[in-house]
Chains A and B, each alone.
Chain A
Amino acid sequence: MKYIDEFNDPDLARRLLDEIHATATHPWALMEVCGGQTHSIIRHGIDQLLPEQVELIHGPGCPVCVTPLDVIDQALEIASRQGVIFCSFGDMLRVPGSDRDLFRVKGEGGDVRVVYSPLDALELARRNPDREVVFFAIGFETTAPANAMAVHQARRLGLTNFSLLVSHVRVPPAIEAIMTSPVCRVQGFLAAGHVCSVMGTAEYPQLAERFGVPLVVTGFEPLDILEGIRRAVRQLERGEHRVENAYARAVREAGNPAALRMIEEVFEVTDRNWRGIGRIPLSGWRLAKAFRAYDAEHRFDVGGIRTEEPAECRSGEVLQGLIKPTECAAFGTTCTPRTPLGATMVSSEGACAAYYLYRRMNGPTPQATRATREEMNPVA
């Protein structure tokens, strides 16, 4: 416990860790579902401060990472077309498609724009009536209310030159897929706090009951994560499996009702492919019938694009918690943030990027220190 001085409240961190150490008598494997949590864990070396019995497994909680290759290629195809302004969040720029990325498309003359919010893309559509403006609508439940509002507003304003390339994913079906895998080792979950800020916790009790796992809603600051782990371990040691909210300052049981109403109006549940994992039933959203006219996949007829993922990339196993990034032969050799094989290496929330960034090059090191920007982009 000698490396916790950098925590924002080292005394509280120490107390939480003491209790986790005192409580854990059996080996337990917990999965954190949020990419922000993964980075916080690796950045602060939380996994190394835990007792040996408590293992953290990194889950599929990075929306950039799980966006399927097909959809990236659809995005690249649309972004390359004349007359299109393709809008995306910045962290999608370097996610590799089958032969290039959005950054490259921009270099080749495509009009790719980075926006902070989907409403910025909507504003571009309003100002450029002679151009088709397409927004790359990826993300989990946290992002869905924003994207839903954008398309809702587009219809209200009568904009006909705005559409979404939708690849929304939902957490609960992913938890179900992980728990029903024959190689699953997960015994408890740190549920993603900001997903629950929107969705609340109603979907989780049935998962806790069905799979006999504690689900602790957790934030992503170091103390939030320690508290989530403390509660999950306490439940496991007592033989309990309940939903607990360890992030009450940002999560209400009912979520955000206004946001939920908007999601329900604009989207409908559908099956989705997850990059590296495959098809998970009912694990995503697509535009509901009333909003189908705003679906870029149909408007640009790119639904037929199907692409094979590179065989040497094991990001699917990383995303399912089956291997740690360092167990992949390509990690840090043929696959680096500058030459990523998979999105887990390029996304700022990806597990592989976290291991690379915080110098976990050959498995656990005594202290996680942050690589400099020059080391991340290795040119002297």
Chain B
Amino acid sequence: MCLAVPGKVVAIDGSADPLTGLIDFGGVQKQACLEYVPDVRVGEYVIVHVGFALQRLDEESALASLKLFEELGLLEEEFGDAWEQAAQEDGTSAASERENSGSEAR
């Protein structure tokens, strides 16, 4: 959750309270609160943290960051299924059965 991800503002809902926009994070689209960047426009890039745009970012920097995040799997970490990840870390579900059968390999 420390991660703040750059994304492109693709739509702004001027009637929403708080001010909300649809942000594209390299293909994944999510709503974010725009109250802290109130004069942002569609097509501009912002840094989004836990659903809140915190600052504008220039397009070149944003695209470079997004490309890097995607290569490193950070977008999956940020937007993926936390329960599935927790289950895997916990070794529950199918993984634990394999472990219980004695096939652990470290």
Contact = CB atoms under 8 A, between A and B. Distances in A.
Interface residues of B, number: 46
A249 B33 contact: no
A367 interface: no
A139 interface: yes
Given A8-B68, A194-B4, A197-B55, A103 B50 contact: no
Given A146-B50, A194-B47, A114 B1 contact: no
A256 interface: yes
B88 A373 contact: yes
Contacts, number: 137
Interface string A186-199: 00000000100110
A185 interface: no
A142 B89 contact: no
Interface string A86-103: 000111011000000001
Given A43-B72, A256-B36, A194 B57 contact: no
A198 B1 contact: no
Contact of A116 (B50, B88, B95, B106): B50
Contacts of B82: 89-91, 93, 114
Interface size class of A (residues with CB under 8 A): 35 or more
A316 interface: no
A117 B57 CA distance: 21
A371 to B, nearest CB: 11
B33 A117 contact: yes
9 contacts: A8-B67, A89-B82, A93-B82, A149-B35, A149-B52, A197-B4, A259-B36, A380-B104, A380-B105
